[in-house]
Chains A and B, each alone.
Chain A
Amino acid sequence: MRVSQIGILRFPGTNCDRDVFGAIESLGLKPEWLWYEDRFEPSKYSAFVLPGGFSYGDYLRCGALAARSPVMDSLREAANKGYPILGICNGFQILCESGLLPGALVRNASQRFVDKWVSVRIDGSTTWLSKSDFKDTLKLPVAHGEGRYYVEADVEKELRANDQVWCTYLDNPNGSIGDIAGVMNKTKNVAALMPHPERAFHSWLGGEDGVKLIKPMVGL
């Protein structure tokens, strides 16, 4: 699927928004801001990204308050209509809190904020991953204190049976159940991961594997 106009959601405390904006722009696509207090018309866009950060200062639970802000009503509408949606880090937490993705992200097992490069295995197809055979091992940075993915054991089985686990840590940095780094919804148009592909877009940033991940997602 080819996407061009991409809506980037901004909440108070989102701080990876400009990185995502720049990454998308560098691929020749048109990013546009979507403010958390405003609703939007999904048909004006071809895809949406929820960037990382600390929306609402991580108050109550990471992503809990952002998940209940007005912009999410429109995003839920977009998700139901099948638009591709990608959540990164705090965006993943927001999607879980909003119920658009299963599970929750809780405090890292180590109790520490982890900030390092990790290897992840990408496997599976979403509307985003246009090539259904997209499989690769990528080096991407993680930076989170609450990235330990949790679902009940029977739900994890279900996710695996439905091919909803699309991103897996080779060296689990946070204690996530089943080394899960990213999941998608049943209809496979909503996907999210804890690592930051937008921080791996240039060799001078430490790696370019983020481009490898995002390019097939947008049909390039």
Chain B
Amino acid sequence: MKFGVKILPRNEVLDSQGRAVEKTLKQHGFEIDHCRVGRYVQIEVPDSEMKSATDKVKKITEFVLFNPLIESVEIEQLEK
């Protein structure tokens, strides 16, 4: 099974990358309200059971993929 892990800087944390991209987009005339930049991690696990697969990906995510102090996270299933 394949999963995607979306990681974004938390709103309280100044996202300097997002701010720089936002500024450039606005300079080029794009009408946008806000832009944030994060990272995306794809993980493929051999598990066939949904529960064990999602538990594993959650565990991996909490172990290293994101830092709860500065980032928020969302896990999505991509393929069975």
Contact = CB atoms under 8 A, between A and B. Distances in A.
A175 interface: yes
B16 A61 contact: no
A65 B64 contact: yes
Contact of A68 (B13, B14, B63): B63
Interface size class of A (residues with CB under 8 A): 10 to 19
Given A61-B67, A111-B17, 13 more contacts: A60-B39, A64-B67, A68-B64, A104-B70, A106-B14, A107-B16, A108-B16, A109-B14, A110-B16, A111-B16, A148-B14, A150-B70, A175-B14
Interface in A106-121: 106-111
Interface in B5-22: 9, 12-14, 16-17, 19-20
11 contacts: A97-B67, A104-B69, A106-B14, A108-B16, A109-B14, A110-B16, A111-B19, A148-B14, A150-B69, A150-B70, A175-B14
A107 B14 CA distance: 9
Interface of A: 60-61, 64-65, 68, 97, 103-104, 106-111, 148, 150-152, 175
Nearest to B71: A61
Q: Considering the complex of A and B, which 3 residue pairs feature the smallest CB-CB distances, nearest first?
A: A107-B16, A111-B16, A104-B70
Given A68-B63, A104-B67, A106-B70, A152 B14 contact: no
Nearest to A64: B64
Contacts of A111: 16-17, 19-20
Contacts of A175: 14
